[in-house]
Structures are given as structure tokens and as C-alpha cells.
Structure 1
Amino acid sequence: MALRRLTVVATAVAALSVPALPAHAESETAPPGRITVDVVGVNGSGCPQGTASVAAASDNTSFTVTYSDYLAQTGGGAGGTEFRKNCQLALQIHVPQGFTYAIARADYRGFAHLQRGAYGQERANYYFQGMAQSARTVHQFNGPYSDSWQASDRTEYADLVWAPCGEERNLNVNTELRVYPGASNPQALSFMSMDSTDGSVSTVYHFAWKECPGV
């Protein structure tokens, strides 16, 4: 029987850091008040209904997505479609009036067990409803590998895509895991997960903030 869950110890998340900005227009500091993040759409084999949860940080610096059933696997009797799992979340983020946000960094974590010759990939992008999609990033892990994995996507401040001021647009978050047997023994199981039995593994999206014009 294929391994389905593993307990993973996540490393600490580095603090958000963005370049110094003109004080009258833009701010490194998260705004006062409280942001909320609501899931308005869920789709994908990596996040069946009820297996993905979202929570905003109390200091308004980030939000986390925690998965409980997100695992791709190949070999060892795994089904032909199990090598690829994906999740598409549509999030409605309510922010304090007069501020807008962008995603400055995303941290992804999980566990991988990859046979010699096999490899796994984590892919992701995110974009605002009605706007162009960001480039899809790909992080690859090569076997032999049996350990926690971590990948981060950072965006330079000049390249950030900001939510339109005064509008509510969903933030669409797409992730994907793939595991390929490569030159490994097809009877040997390789897998890659973005989940954990104790909920300690979360994808973390870090905000950058700025004031809207006229504030």
C-alpha cells in the first residue's frame, strides 16, 4: 500500500523585506485594521472539498494555505493519473480602506521521497481576476531524495502586480505537484506531498502594501 501521509517539520518563515519606498505614497508597514481571506472557489485533484484551509496572519503580513490531501506519486502501483495533482483557489481578500496589496513572496513546503532516477516538480502562479497571469515558476527536486522540501518565489518590488484600488477582485492561486519516474525502477514508489498529518506544513503568501492614490 502506498504511503499516504507523513509528519513534516516546517522551517521558520523569513520576515518580509522590501526596498525602502517614498513615505508619502508607499509603505513597508502593514496597514492597521484587520484583513480577512475567504475561499470563494476550490478546484483540483490536490485539494478535494474540505482539504484546504486559509488563514490570515494577525499582523496583516501574510496568509497561509494548509492542505491535508495533496500528494502526487508514481511507480509502486500508483494509478496512471496520480503523478500529477493540482489545486486552484479563488480567494477574496478584504483589506483596510485606502490600501492595496501585492504578493511579494510565496513559500511552499512539503515532503518528497524520490527514487534514484526519479524527479518531482512544484509549479505555481497567482494572479488577480481579470488580469494577466504571472509566469508559472517551476522548482525541481531530483532523486535520490527523502526529506522535507522547500521552495520560494520572490518578486522584485518594481515587478509587483498590485490589486486595483477601490475594487474587489479575487486572487487566484494555482499550485501543482508532479512526480516523474525517469530512469527509476517502475516498481518503486516515488512521491511528493504538500500536506501533513499535523497541519504544520502551510504555503505562506507574503504581502507587500502601499497606500492608494489620494489617501
Structure 2
Amino acid sequence: MAGGLLLSGAVAALVTTALPAHNPSDVFDNPPPDKIVIDVATVNGSGCPAGTAAVAVSPDNTAFTVTYSEYLAQAGGGSDPTAFRRNCQLNLVVHVPQGFTYAVASADYRGFAALQRGATGTQKASYYFQGSSTTVPRSHPFTGPYNDDWQATDDTDWAQLVWAPCGVLRNFNINTELRVNAGSTSADKVSFMTMDSTDGDISTVYHLAWKECPSS
């Protein structure tokens, strides 16, 4: 997975997050026109074995996506005792045009869950820039019986946005986790939760906010 990825038209149909009416004056709707390049520095975790996670940037620079192909947690039946929890840690180098900085304004997580009656599932995520504090992890619970696609969205108030430092290149780290608890389900029943896709239609989408860096 390591190496540079020039990211272009894989996600042209992304829906961008609307901007509030009273943004700070240096925050603007229009992202810089030059393409963003993302280098995937490292990928670690039981939910994203080597070669199973991919990153792409929308053509208009308003978002980037992470797509997984083997991100699945399960419990019950003959499941491996460690399979109830799966996680992924992505370390990304995000190259942005000079004079600009970005923040993650919102994130959309998607997948599929098949939870038996009495079982529960949880999706959890956090992110941070190298050298900065980790954002408070956000969790989204799901309760069985459940057998459908799922979606969870994390929105951040503009005043609470965490901006990439200007003038220095800091890696961007994303931590995600899925957990499934069999609970009171019959011991022979399997419950599972995925954050993966075999056809590229299900991705985690990180919507970006932009602003200009102060003049030096």
C-alpha cells in the first residue's frame, strides 16, 4: 500500500457537505484548483490487511474516500474469538497546494450489518495530525435484529475544526474500528458488521474544509 497515489476521478459523484452561513472570513467554499496528492505511508490493522484499502480524492478536491475490501468483524457460531473486533490505522501524507490548509469537516462511514436479536455492533473512529492531539473518538451503536446497509456520519462544528498546520507537512492519521458483541444471541448464531466493498460503491468519505494560510 505504501507509495504515492495521484488521485483523480474515482469519486466524481460525492455529495459535499453544505457550509454554514457564518463561516470565518478566511474559510471558503471553493477549494484550491490544483490536485491533491496523497501518499499512503503505512496501513496497519486487522481490518485492512496489505492491499485491501485504497484512497481516492474527488475531482473537485472537496473530499477523499477510503475503500476497504476485507473489513469485517463477527461474533458467535464458529467465529474466531478475536474476530469480534477489527481495526485499521491509516497514516497518510496529504500534499496540498502552497498557501492553503485543510480540515475534515465531516466523515461518512458505510457498510453492512447482520446482527441477530440480542447482538450489538459498534463503529468507532478518530483522526489526528502528526504532533497534534487525537480527536475525541466517536462511536455509533447498532442493535439487532438488524440486516441492512448502515451509515454513520460524524460532523464537526466549524469552531472545533482541526486544521493541518500551515507551512509544514504533517502526516494525517485515521483510526477506525468495528466491534460485534453476540450478547444474548444463541451460541450457534453468527452476527457480523462490515465496512468494506467488493464493487467500490461503499466507501468512507471525508469531506474537507479549506482556508488560506496567513501570509508570512
**Fold match, TM over 0.5?**
yes
Aligned mates of 1:40, 1:133 — CA distance in 2: 18
Aligned mates of 1:13, 1:144 — CA distance in 2: 30
Instruction: Percent identity, please.
Output: 60
Within 5 Å, give how 1:53-68 maps onto structure 2: 53-68=54-69
Q: Which residue of 2 aligns with 1:47?
A: 48
Q: Which residue of 2 aligns with 1:35?
A: 36
Asked if 2 retains the 8 angstrom alpha-carbon contact of 1:18 and 1:157, the reply is no
Q: Which residue of 1 aligns with 2:123?
A: 122
Aligned-CA RMSD value = 1.2
Q: Is 1:205 the equivalent of 2:214?
A: no
Q: Is 1:148 the equivalent of 2:143?
A: no
Shift of 1:199: 1.9
Structure 2 residue matching 1:183: 3-state secondary structure: coil
Q: Which residue of 1 aligns with 2:23?
A: 21
Aligned mates of 2:162, 2:114 — CA distance in 1: 35
Shift of 1:80: 0.3
Displaced runs of 4 or more, over 4 A: none
Task: State the aligned residue count.
Answer: 203
Structure 2 residue matching 1:131: 3-state secondary structure: coil
User: Which amino acid in structure 1 is aligned with residue 185 of structure 2?
Assistant: S
Q: Which residues of structure 1 form unaligned runs of 5+?
A: 1-11
User: Which amino acid in structure 2 is aligned with residue 208 of structure 1?
Assistant: A
Shift of 1:13: 5.2
User: Which amino acid in structure 2 is aligned with residue 181 of structure 1?
Assistant: A
Aligned mates of 1:107, 1:38 — CA distance in 2: 21
Q: Which residue of 1 aligns with 2:99?
A: 98
Structure 1 residue matching 2:170: 3-state secondary structure: coil
After TM superposition, the score normalised by the length of structure 1 is 0.91
Q: Which residue of 2 aligns with 1:138?
A: 139
Higher RCO structure (Cα 8 Å, ≥6 apart) = 1
Q: Which residues of structure 2 form unaligned runs of 5+?
A: 1-12
Q: Which residue of 2 aligns with 1:5?
A: none
Q: Which residue of 1 aligns with 2:10?
A: none
